[in-house]
């Protein structure tokens, strides 16, 4: 029988533990396998994405490698941006996401394609509302310390100085 993602999550987490679902992407599920995604409903401009972030407590962004092995490299910018807003991020151990998220929040990352582990990460967040502020602050501080524009400019200048002798 088909279920949309919201219904599926409610069944996995239980109605009492279910966090507000944004409803931006409707996904049909048959026997727990992805059947189709309405990509038009996934498109958000940057301002809308930030608006949504400030209305929610968790940002779910599971990432996987393509069937041909392509990873698109790095970590999705939206994860960095969501952490900077102070929203808790739940994601996967895909590519550089663990580096961006940092070791203090690795318990909120699931292996790629492991739906049960991803649900477990969501349950951890939902069952620990007293820790939301702590996790948000850890994420925000990590972005400020490691990915802030000024910090990145310093690192880039250091590399340039190694490559180009300054007279």
- Over the stretch 49-75, which tens digit does the pLDDT of each residue have? 888 888 888 889 888 888 888 877 778
Among 23-27, 47-51, 78-82, top mean pLDDT goes to 78-82
Model's pTM, two decimal places?
A: 0.71
Looking at residue 5, what is its pLDDT? 53
Q: What is the mean pLDDT of residues 75-94?
A: 91
Looking at residue 11, what is its pLDDT? 61
Report the 10 Å Cβ neighbour count for 65: 14
């Amino acid at each position: 029988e088909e279920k949309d993602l919201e219904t599926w999550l409610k069944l996995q987490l239980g109605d009492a533990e279910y966090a507000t679902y944004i409803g931006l992407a409707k996904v049909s599920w048959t026997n727990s396998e992805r059947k189709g995604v309405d990509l038009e409903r996934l498109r958000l401009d940057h301002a809308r994405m930030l608006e949504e972030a400030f209305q929610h407590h968790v940002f779910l962004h599971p990432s996987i490698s393509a069937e041909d092995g392509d990873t698109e490299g790095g970590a999705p910018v939206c994860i960095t941006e969501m952490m900077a807003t102070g929203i808790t991020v739940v994601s996967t151990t895909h590519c550089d996401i663990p580096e961006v998220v940092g070791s203090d929040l690795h318990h909120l990352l699931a292996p790629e394609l492991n739906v049960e582990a991803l649900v477990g990460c969501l349950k951890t967040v939902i069952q620990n509302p007293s820790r939301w502020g702590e996790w948000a602050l850890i994420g925000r501080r990590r972005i400020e310390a490691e990915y802030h524009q000024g910090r990145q400019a310093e690192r880039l200048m250091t590399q340039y100085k190694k490559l180009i002798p300054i007279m």
